Amino acid sequence: MNRFLIILSLVFGVLGVVLTILPFGTLALIPIALAFIFALITVFRQREKLFPKLVLVIVFANFLTVIGKEVFVKDVVEVDEQFETIKQQSEQDAQKDLEGLE
């Protein structure tokens, strides 16, 4: 049972890390919360074992990373020279098309 719980916490912990790396924002908190719950249950059931405590610490660090990213990393749109050129070209073409209609 303890092994099953620690495997579950590890699976959800890894999923949490993957979603933290990917730009899914707070979605990573779902597997992190599950990993935390399973790791916490394991810690209570196996107080003498170090590994469940280690998993708990890693999951908590992951949680702090997600919160930190949400608070401190702002969503920005990169200045895209190619996109700016497309917009300018489109405007020039539009002017010609409109003059062609007149």
Q: Nearest distance from residue 49's CB to other proteins, in Å? A: 32
Site track for other proteins across 39-78, x = CB under 8 A: ----------------------------------x-xxxx
Residue 1: both structure tokens together: 């049972």
- In this structure, what is the dihedral angle of CA atoms 27, 28, 31, 35, given to the nearest 10 degrees? -150
Q: Tell me the CB-side half-sphere exposure of residue 96, using CA atoms within 13 A.
A: 6
Name which of 1 and 98 has its Cβ closer to other proteins. 98
CB 39 within 8 A of CB 12: no
Which positions lie near other proteins, rule CB under 8 A? 22-27, 30, 73, 75-78, 80, 83, 86-87, 90-91, 94-95, 97-99, 101-102
